[in-house]
Structure 1
Amino acid sequence: MQKEIIVLLGGPGTGKSTLINELVARGYCCYPEISRQVTLEAQQRGIDQLFLEEPLLFSKMLLEGRIQQFKNAKEEPDNVVFIDRGIPDVVAYMDYIGDEYPEHFTKACEDFKYSKTFILPPWEEIYQSDTERYENFEQALEIQKHLIETYKKYGYDLIEVPKDTVENRILYILDKI
């Protein structure tokens, strides 16, 4: 079997981390979303929202982390690796806020390609804000549009995961791989 590096993507609060946690519980190799870690580290240094205060620095840190996740996933002994958010997410968020970014951001999207991309739709009933998620639901909808545009721009076929129970969403994803 060929190595499958699979990305779960979607705007904030669509259930990605919940699905990753369930996949881990079922024994799958998974890489978590790293933006919360970057945000928490910045908060410990006194920067409340690094993405809002220094979006290019935040995005550079995310890009480096996501490239490293991709490289690590390639080396995993497991044939299937799930990742919570991918490299193109960085570009999509920068486009969302309207900031410019260096060419190596787009080159990374071209150089590191995922096997499959599952997109989770915005789902207001499960959406929650917290200390690391500053967006409201309307902003999450706009981010979703940027994610779709960006992934399509880099040639991905997005597989939409239906709104359903965690169990049924997991079964849907596993059935598609």
Structure 2
Amino acid sequence: MQKKIVLIGGPGTGKTTVLNSLISKNYFCMEEVSREVTLQAKEKGIDQLFLTEPLLFSKLLLEGREKQYLIAEQSKKEIVFFDRGIPDVHAYMNYFKTSYPNTFIEKSKKYKYDCIFHFSPWKEIHTTDNERYETFEQSVIIDEYLVKAYKDLGYKIINVPFGNVKERTDFILNSLSCEL
């Protein structure tokens, strides 16, 4: 049976760096969708789609994450890692106090994950760039919404301790060996 594992946490907490480490170890991984959506919007002349049309941006994210989930299922890989999951979409909408259709929650309930690893905000590694514009303080608040969204859906959350990339990657892999 396939295990679907999600890495969650506010922006700039090290999720993608650890995902890249897992990729280098030949694990099947689904990369973050929001950068792709943001870059596609920029190609169409929209600098920050999330800020100008948050509902459209979130619908595109939801579609992308649902597509990733289905690709993962079709892959028949034993373990699949996701850089963020479907519930992240409505968590962000809640953070921005933006209304959204009930389908966001319905899809979060329909597409279930097996294990959630949480990366806490970490000021020492937080950075911004053209696609990640949130300050550290915003990342802390977003993180609270993310944790709440997953807990509200009944997920048990495993906190990844601070450390270098190898230590964090090893923590996840060692935790999985206990879970599998």
**Deviation at residue 134 of structure 1 after TM alignment:** 1.2
Distance 2:109 2:150 in 1: 11
After superposition, give the CA deviation of every residue in 1:29-52 in whole Å (9 maximum; x if it has no partner).
Answer: 001001000001101111110000
Alignment of 1:1-177 (within 5 A): 2-177=1-176
Scaled by the length of structure 1, the TM-score of the pair is: 0.98
After superposition, give the CA deviation of every residue in 1:4-37 in whole Å (9 maximum; x if it has no partner).
Answer: 0100010000001101111000110001001000
Distance 2:69 2:158 in 1: 20
Task: Report the residue type matching 1:150 in the other structure.
Answer: A
Scaled by the length of structure 2, the TM-score of the pair is: 0.97
Cα root mean square deviation, aligned: 0.6
**Deviation at residue 77 of structure 1 after TM alignment:** 3.0
Kept in 1: contact 2:2–2:76 (CA 8 A) = no
For these two proteins, the number of residue pairs brought into alignment is 176
Q: Percent identity?
A: 49
SS at match of 1:13: coil
70-79 or 101-110, larger mean C-alpha shift: 70-79
List structure 1 runs of 4+ shifted beyond 2 angstroms.
Answer: none
SS at match of 1:30: strand
After superposition, give the CA deviation of every residue in 1:46-96 in whole Å (9 maximum; x if it has no partner).
Answer: 111000000000000000110111111111132000010000000000000
Q: Give the gaps of 5 or more residues in structure 2.
A: none
SS at match of 1:58: helix
After superposition, give the CA deviation of every residue in 1:82-129 in whole Å (9 maximum; x if it has no partner).
Answer: 010000000000000000000100100110000100000000000000
